[in-house]
Structure formats: C-alpha cells, structure tokens
Amino acid sequence: MTKEALKKLIQTAAGTIPAETVIKNCKVFNVFTGEFVQGDIALCGGQIAGVGSYSGETEVDAGGRYAVPGFIDSHIHIESSYLSPEELGRLLVPHGGTTIIADPHEIVNVCGIRGLDYMMEAAKNTALDIQYMLPSCVPATPFENAGAVINAPEMAEPIRRDKILGLGEFMNFPGVVNTDDMVLDKLMCAKEAGKLIDGHSPGLSGMALNGYAAARIQGDHECSTVEDMQARLALGMYVLLRQGSACHDLRTLVKGVTPANSRRCLLCSDDRQPRTILEEGHLDSHLRICVEEGLDPVTALRMATLNAAECFRLYDRGAIAPGYRADIVLLDDLTQFHVDRVWIQGVLTAENGAYLLPVKRYPIDQVKGSVRIRDFSQARLKMGLKSGHVNLIEIQPGGIVTKKSTASIKLDSQGEFVWSKDVDIAKVAVVERHHGTGNVACAFLKGYGIQEGAIALSIAHDSHNVIAVGVSDEEMAAAVQALEKQEGGIVLVKNGQVVDSMPMPIAGLMSDQSGQWVAEKLESLHENAYTQLGIHRSVEPVMTLCFMSLAVIPEIKLTDMGLFDVTKFQFIPVEAEQ
C-alpha cells in the first residue's frame, strides 16, 4: 500500500471523503463480538474502510441481507476436483468462497516443481484467492514411484514464495515421530523460512501424537472421531472439520465443537468434485450442516472465516472491519446460507449463483504428456501364483479406509486368477507411469462388484500411477492402453472396446473443460460403470478406486511396488499365510 492509498483509506473510513463503493442496508456480522449490526459497508481500494452510515460514488442496496466475511476453505486439493484452478474458482466463488488454502500435492507428485509453477500461474486468472501450501511428502512414502522427489534442497526456493504459506499436510507422521533425518530437514526448511507446517495423522494418539505436535504441526484434517479431535485441540493444534466428496466427517465432529474450543476449529473440503459443488455447494453447504447439527450460526461462520484466517496467518481477511480485505458475502438467511452476492477485494464477482468475471486460462503445455508407460502388455499382468489363498484389499463403505482380509481364489494351471461372477473379487493392478520403470504390481480387490470389462485411471493417490480393475487380463490391458493413448484420465472398457472415457490432459489429473462438462461426464462414467461394468451402486467407482493405492491410509493398499500393509508399514506377499 502506498502512502496516498493509506491516506485515502483513512479519509474514507473517517467519512471525510465519499467511499468508492458502499454496500448499504446490511446486517453486518462482527466476527469479534458475535453481533449483527445494521449499517453500511464502505469500500476503498479493495479494502473495507468502515461500517456505519456512509455515502459513496457507487451505492448498492443489500436489501437487509446478512453481510459476512468471505469464506475460507482451510484445506483443499484443486486436482481432486478434476478442474483447472481457473475453473474451480469459477464454481466456488458464487458459493461465497473467496480464499482457499490449496495443497497441490497431486500435481507435484506427477510433475514436480514444474507442476507447482503451473498451479501458481493459473491461479492468477481467477478472482478466488488461491493460497498454496508446498507439498511436504513427494512421494508420500518411499514405497511407490512418483513423478518427482522433493526433499529439503528442492524446497528451499519455493517455500519462500509469497503465495506459499508453508508445508502442506505432513503425511509421513511416522517419520516425524521417529525423527527421520530427511524429515527433520524438511521441517527445518519451513521453520527457517518462518512458514507453517500442516498436519495429517490419522489414528495417531498418546505419546506419539505428543511427538508429532511438538514439531509445531499447525492442524489436522484427518480426525474421524470427536476423541481424535479433542486430543489434537488439547495439544494446541487446530482441527479442520472435513466435508468433501470422499470423506464426510463434519456431522460427527461438529458435535465436539464447544464454546471453549470453537475458535480452534475450521472448515475444509479436502476433495470436492464438480457434481458436489453444483448440487450441494461449497462452504455454504458446510455451514448448513453445522446449523442442522445444532451449532449456532455465529460459531459456524467464525469457523469459515476468522478462525481459518488466523490459523494460516492471513491477518488481512476473515472479518468485516476497517483495513481488512473487502471480501464480503451477502446471505439471504442463516439457516440455508443462500449466497446472493460476493465481493472479492471490493469487486462484485458473483451474483445469483453466477460468476461475473471473464475466465482466462493459463496454457497447459508444461503439464501435458505425463502418462509414459514402458513395455506394457497383457503379459505384464500375469502373477504365476503358487497358492490360491491370498491377501485382499477389502473396500469399506463410506470412505477410503480398507480392510485387510484373506480368501481362497480359483487359479488355472499356470497359477493365474480365474474370475467368477459369483465371487466379488477382482484383480487390481498399478502400472508405473512416470519414469518408464516398467513396474506393474497386481493384487486382489473385494467389494468393488465389477461384472464386465475393466476400468483404468491415471488418478491414483498419491503418486498417481495408473490403477486398473477388471474381470480379465485382456480387458485390463485394453483399458490401460486406451488410457495411455488419451494422455490420462478415466477409461471404461467392455469387450476390449472403450465404452466411455474422460481425458485429463493436465498432468493426467485434471480436465481442461468446464465444471459442468466434467460433472456431466462423471455422471455418464458412473452410470456406465454401474450399467455396463456392473460395479456396485453402493461404491463410487472413480473416487473409491483412486484411493486404493494410497499407502498412508489403513489397512492395506497397492502401489506400483507391491501390496502394502499400512498398519505394519511394510510390503506383504499377495499369497497369504495358511
């Protein structure tokens, strides 16, 4: 801010000169006192000059609506929306989103710092203020091949960028607790730069959780019970109450929010797909849920605004008060939280559900062509098992946690799996797609329900190799080969032919199309997965499969290196002990 800009802001606030814009006739939410005050909001140079009785060069009648600070999503992966940053901004802003804390963990696992550079440049083309965390675990574990390896030396430059708030969710919590030397180097990189460290510690408790918190991990979005939440709050951590497309923890956790701890509670999406946004909304949906579960609107709104701003040291926003960013949302009510209009830095950006600004897109050339598979053929899926008693990845309803179980399967004379429509077990494969290693790992998946063909994705958290499930090696190979040809995304195959697909040219993770197009295409893919491939309707076919390789979520997953027991943190054979 220049001296002249400061002078104008003060004069506007004091009422000695007219405001640039005045939003008149509002019930203004004061996050500091918890009150709603009838008045006008004066704007100047993208900031709030004051709340009171003002006149301005432009005056907007709010019609008595509630004026609240812009909503801040405290943890989200843009890539998991399958949209570019520009397109996600277009969808979120009409729902009151003005800031998101994004962890580009997915694209950096594929493209390295080049992927981060793309995300930061693309973010400049949306009114949504996208603040980034630097991915801390690339790869998430040493038990899979990612597209890049980012250690402390590679972090030294990006951690100091202005739009990088700190280190993203530190998923390698065993490395923190066990004081792994390379992990400590990463933590020190953030500390020496004066930046935050975000957390991820599902199931961690007791003295081990103490050790994790001692590293000054700022918060955690992986709480699934009120007890998990209370344990972290007691250690000085923030808790991010998550409601995404894959994980739905908010209704459970909001019951643990009290007047004593509410200021340490935030709202986040983690993963949110276009269909969810278009049908349910964004943080406006979170707020509805909070109130439905008995939380008062004042506390809920603080969780979506001031609490998040303070947690991430964004001290210029989160409130409607003099000198703060003019990020303002007009709400029709405090039960449904219907958004009427949105201002970001004083600019009217959305009205009646429509994004008002033109959408410009940053070129995607630097993140295309990311699916590079070496020497893949149907023969690479052969397993040659000696025993039909095998370990299984068993899908659990309603989430991404899996159960380790065993079963006896039918083998042919060559030790190859014989699929049966009467037994809900299918082969699953992960094919390395970054470095041409030729790695192909196979195992067995229970509970997916596939009855025909195969499905393949280049979205497979967290290293995003290709993952495929099918009723035969022939069908799976056809799906993987079709996926490589279209440069990533999603492919459904039946009788060796593609029956539906969605290309994702941005790192094999994101579409370059509109949110509406992606939502409609996903709906088509889901329906074809159910009707053409016979996948269980109780299973979300894409989101469920893309988490079957996430080797930081219990109990058992498959990476390109093999079958991984997350609870033991070690590889195990496909053949089970008798």
pLDDT of residue 401: 85
Q: 3-state DSSP call for residue 483?
A: helix
pLDDT of residue 413: 96
Give 278-335 pLDDT, tens digit per residue: 999 999 999 999 999 999 999 999 999 999 999 999 999 999 999 999 999 999 999 9
Give 5-47 pLDDT, tens digit per residue: 999 999 999 999 999 999 999 999 999 999 999 999 999 999 9
* pLDDT (mean) for 438-463: 97
For 247, residues 6+ apart whose C-beta sits below 8 A from its C-beta are 270, 271, 399, 400
Bridge-partner residues for 571, per DSSP? 564
Q: Predicted confidence band at 553 (pLDDT cuts at 50, 70, 90)?
A: confident
Rg (CA), the chain: 25
Give 195-240 pLDDT, tens digit per residue: 999 999 988 999 999 999 999 999 999 999 999 999 999 999 999 9
Q: Counting Cβ atoms within 10 Å, is residue 459 exposed (0-12), middle (13-18) or buried (19+)?
A: buried
Question: Is residue 170 a contact partner of residue 197, using CB atoms and an 8 Å limit?
Answer: yes
Q: Counting Cβ atoms within 10 Å, is residue 211 exposed (0-12), middle (13-18) or buried (19+)?
A: middle
Please report the DSSP string for 194-236 in residue order: T-EEEE--TT--HHHHHHHHHTT--EES---SHHHHHHHHHTT
Is the confidence at residue 569, as pLDDT, over 90?
Answer: no
| Type of residue found at 423 | V
Residue with tokens 């939410």: 29
Question: Is residue 138 a contact partner of residue 169, using CB atoms and an 8 Å limit?
Answer: no
Q: Predicted confidence band at 536 (pLDDT cuts at 50, 70, 90)?
A: very high
How far is it, in rounded angstroms, from Cα 548 to Cα 563?
Answer: 11
Bridge-partner residues for 73, per DSSP? 100
Residue with tokens 């491939």: 533
pLDDT of residue 13: 97
Q: Which domains does the chain have, with CATH numbers?
A: 3-64 (2.30.40.10), 70-318 (3.20.20.140), 368-571 (no CATH)
How far is it, in rounded angstroms, from Cα 400 to Cα 255?
Answer: 22
How far is it, in rounded angstroms, from Cα 389 to Cα 369?
Answer: 40
Q: Predicted confidence band at 577 (pLDDT cuts at 50, 70, 90)?
A: confident
Q: Name the average pLDDT for the chain.
A: 96
What's the pTM value of the predicted model, to 2 decimals? Answer: 0.94
In a 13 Å sphere around the CA of 117, the CA atoms on its Cβ side amount to 11
Bridge-partner residues for 67, per DSSP? 28, 330
Q: Predicted confidence band at 245 (pLDDT cuts at 50, 70, 90)?
A: confident
pLDDT of residue 256: 98
Q: Predicted confidence band at 400 (pLDDT cuts at 50, 70, 90)?
A: confident
Is the confidence at residue 167, as pLDDT, over 70?
Answer: yes
Handedness of CA 390, 391, 393, 397 (dihedral sign): positive
Question: Is residue 78 a contact partner of residue 86, using CB atoms and an 8 Å limit?
Answer: no
Q: Predicted confidence band at 555 (pLDDT cuts at 50, 70, 90)?
A: very high
Q: 3-state DSSP call for residue 339?
A: strand
Per-residue DSSP letter, 248: B
Bridge-partner residues for 238, per DSSP? 219
Closest CA to 430 of 447, 448, 442: 442
pLDDT of residue 399: 64
Share of residues in the chain with pLDDT > 70 (%): 100
Question: Is residue 430 a contact partner of residue 453, using CB atoms and an 8 Å limit?
Answer: no
Q: Are strands 56-61 and 19-30 parallel, antiparallel or unpaired?
A: parallel
Give 75-107 pLDDT, tens digit per residue: 999 999 999 999 999 999 999 999 999 999 999
Handedness of CA 433, 437, 438, 444 (dihedral sign): negative
